[in-house]
Structure formats: C-alpha cells, structure tokens
Amino acid sequence: MNYDRPDLLERLAAEYVFGAMTGPVRRRFERLRLTLPAADAAAVAWEARSGPLARSVPAAAPSPQVWSEIDRRTGGTGEATAQARARAGAGWWRWLAPVAGLAFGVVATLGVVRLAPDAIVPIEAIVQERGTLPQSYVGLLTDTTGAATILASSTRHGRTMSIKVLRPIEVPAGGVLQLWALPRDGEPFPLGVVPREGKGSFEMSDTSEKLLSNVPRLAVSIEERPASTGAPPSGFILTGHCVKLW
C-alpha cells in the first residue's frame, strides 16, 4: 500500500481508533505508527477527536485487587494507597473532630460521666446510646487533591439531602453539579443537584435508608442538565465515602 497518500492514512487511522480492524490489521497499523510519524499523528488526532464519545459509557468500579496488582507490577509497596488515603482522610478527620467534640459536650451535660471512670467509651457508642445525633447517612466528598469539598447528610428515614459546600466549586457556564450514589454492586445512580457554594438541600426519590444502605461511596460530576435515572455520569470531580452515623 502507498502510505504516502494522506487520505489513506487518515482512513486507516480512523478505523484503527474506532476499533473496526481485525487483529492482524491492527498490529500492522501499530507497526506503521512506530515507523511513520504521519500515521502516528493521524491516529493521535483521531484518539483526541473521538475520546469524548467514551464519556457516555456507564462507569463501573473495579475490584480492589486491581490496584494491588498495578501497585505490585509497578514496584510499589502499598504505601501509595496509605498516603493517598491519609491525604483524603485528613479532610475527613478535620470534619469529624467538631462532631466528636459536640458529641462529647452533649454527653457530658447529659451526665454520662457517671459511667465507670476507667471506662474508655467509644464516641460512636455514646452517640448511639444517647441518640444525641440522629441516625443519619453522611458523605464527605473530596477533590482530587484530597481537600474536603462537600458535606452531604440525610437522616436515616428522611428524604431530604442536606448539602454544605466547604469550598466553592468551579462549574463551567451552563453546567450543573450532579450528586451520584455509587452502590457496592451496580451502576451509579443520580441523587440530586448540589449548589456550587454555600448550603442547599434537595428531596430524594426515596428515603436514605432505601437509597443508601448499600452505597459505600458518593461522587459529584459536572453535567449539562440534572441527570435522569439510568443516565451515565460523566467524569467524577469529587468522590468520598458514604457512612452510616449510627
């Protein structure tokens, strides 16, 4: 074949990137990419052009073993995980501290200090026993640098999701911030739209208990319009754990 013809290279690159080539033809084109800069440039241009088409594909969470293998194969020691978590976790604990303080304050006034003085009572247990904080689902979403950005909370049997934006979020004109639930098994589903700053709330389609009991993580994406059920999210800009506060 005469690969000097730009229209031929263009067509081959398009078919290669779109995925229509059979194995042997793909491999031949890959060799061509390595030896002919014009072929590589045509393929890169098609990859750049067509990449946004992939954003309508529903996300799927890989199992934790995938990272362990990647870490092992790239000479890691598991430390990156700990550091990335510590970074993400820093925001979490900064947020928990006042809650813990509040819980201690409330239980102290309630006279729980009458408990055996040597007993080290976990805060969780006190909160649960005394009901000082209502049973709730709480999510703290962080950005890619691990900075705490959105606090989402809803009482266990309520339908209102309260949102507090801890750091204003940049949203391109016409975009909305969509909050998603990422179930343990299954596709992400939309919960509602969150404000870019300040506080807000929205009504969910059901109670937190129904919607979130099997949801370990929440995430936020930027969408053109509020997502409807079954619509796939575009890329997530914030993610975080969703925990039961009881």
Partner 1 sequence: MALSADHALLIARVALGDRTAFRQLYDATSPSLMGVALRIVRDRSRAEDVLQDAFVNIWHRAGSYRAEAGSPLTWLTAIVRNRALDALRSEARHPADSLTDDEDEMTDIQDDRPDPLGLLTQAADALAIRACLEAIDGSQRQCLALAYYHGLTHSEMAAHLGSPIGSVKVWLRRGLEKIRRCLERAK
Residues binding partner 1: number (CB under 8 A):
63
How many Cα atoms within 13 Å fall on the side-chain side of residue 140?
15
First to last CA, the chain: 69
HSE-up of 219 (CA within 13 Å, CB side)?
21
CB 227, CB 233: distance < 8 Å: yes
- Least Å from the CB of residue 161 to partner 1: 21
* Region near partner 1 per CB under 8 A, out of 10-18, 90-98, 152-160, 194-202: 10-18
CB of 220 to partner 1, least distance (A): 11
Residue 18's φ and ψ, nearest 5 degrees, are -70, -15
Give the side-chain half-sphere CA count within 13 A for 106.
17
For residue 142, give every residue at least 6 positions away whose Cβ sits within 8 Å of its Cβ, in sequence order, or none. 88, 91, 92, 148, 149, 238, 239, 240
Q: How far is the CB of 68 from partner 1 (least distance, A)?
A: 10
Q: Which residues are CB-neighbours of 11 under 8 A, at least 6 positions away?
A: none
The answer to whether 194 contacts partner 1 (rule: CB under 8 A) is no
| Interface map 131-160 toward partner 1 (x if CB under 8 A) | ------------xxxx--------------
Q: Does 21 bind partner 1 (CB under 8 A)?
A: yes
Contact call for residue 239 and partner 1 (CB under 8 A): yes
Binding string, 46-75, against partner 1, x = CB under 8 A?
-xxxxxxxxxxxxxxxxx-xxx-xxx-xx-
With CB under 8 A as the contact rule, the residue among 3, 5, 31, 84 that binds partner 1 is: 84
Q: What is the DSSP letter of 61?
A: P
Mark the segment that binds partner 1 (CB under 8 A) among 110-118, 133-141, 156-164, 231-239. 231-239
- Please check whether residue 185 is in contact with residue 216, taking contact to mean a CB–CB distance below 8 angstroms: no
Instruction: Tell me: does residue 172 bind partner 1 (CB under 8 A).
Output: yes
Ordered strands of the 217-223 beta sheet? 189-194, 176-182, 217-223, 236-244, 136-142, 148-155, 160-165, 199-203
Nearer to partner 1, 71 or 209 (CB): 71
In the complex, the residues that contact partner 1 under the rule CB under 8 A are: 11, 14-15, 17-23, 26, 44-45, 47-63, 65-67, 69-71, 73-74, 76, 79-81, 83-84, 87, 143-146, 169-170, 172, 182, 188, 222, 224, 231-232, 234-237, 239
